[in-house]
Amino acid sequence: MVLSALACPLAGAADLSAFANSAALAVKAATLSDAEVVDLATRSCAAMDRSNKIAAPGSKYAKRLAAALKPLKMSQFNGKKLDAKVYLIKDVNAFAMDNGCIRVFAGLMDLMNDDEIRAVVGHEVGHVLLGHSKKPMQTAYSLQAARGAAVAVSDTAATLSQSDLGDLGQKFIQAQFSQSQETAADDQSYGILQKEKLSRQGLVTLFQKLAKLEGADHSMFSSHPSSPDRAQHIQSRIDKDG
């Protein structure tokens, strides 16, 4: 009984310590600097690369993505060198991170033509350029606090395990943007294509194809404006701008 009585305060102290650490981590997540977000993006992207099969440089997917993106003339964005690769995953998805990491899934490439692939990448890059991607990374990082992860609050990614970093990346990919953010990213993609005098029609046909898939279990569609509405918005801009 005496041993049990002694154990209780110790257990309570451990619980309080874990709670305090999680609370501190949540505060840290909300105040991540831009440099820390880039560092987390770099490490989480690398962790996801290790756990997913990437199209080899000489493969048809890698060569096609490189050829599709070349006209965009984006050797870098957000001040970071562009690093675009293809995940050999059948899902229809793509993402961009603040460190220049762009990953396009093979399932999306199988569905889209090159104009549409450029439109998708322009959209994902648009989220980064417009500052939309910081909040999802903060949210993903704060979920480590909810899990009670033992992370030193003074040193972000350096103390996260590879598993934690991979989970962080997955949570980032699954993050939901607001409808206004999605529309703004669509317009950003339109502007990128227009600047390089590339076809903007790919944005329209992209959403027409996505409309046929809506209702399927794809994180790409979560909280997005309806695809027909997005297609109409872009078509109206094309009609106006000529």
* CA-based R_g, the chain, Å: 21
* Rounded to 5°, angle at Cα 20 from 19 and 23: 85
* Rounded to 5°, angle at Cα 94 from 139 and 103: 95
* C-beta separation of 129 from 121 below 8 A: no
* C-beta separation of 125 from 96 below 8 A: yes
Q: Of these residues, 36, 116, 124, 182, which one is catalytic?
A: 124
**Where do we find the tokens 């619980």?**
15
The candidate with the shortest Cα–Cα distance to 28, out of 155, 125, 197, 150, is 155
* Rounded to 5°, angle at Cα 91 from 89 and 94: 90
Q: Is 124 a catalytic residue?
A: yes
Task: List active site positions.
Answer: 124
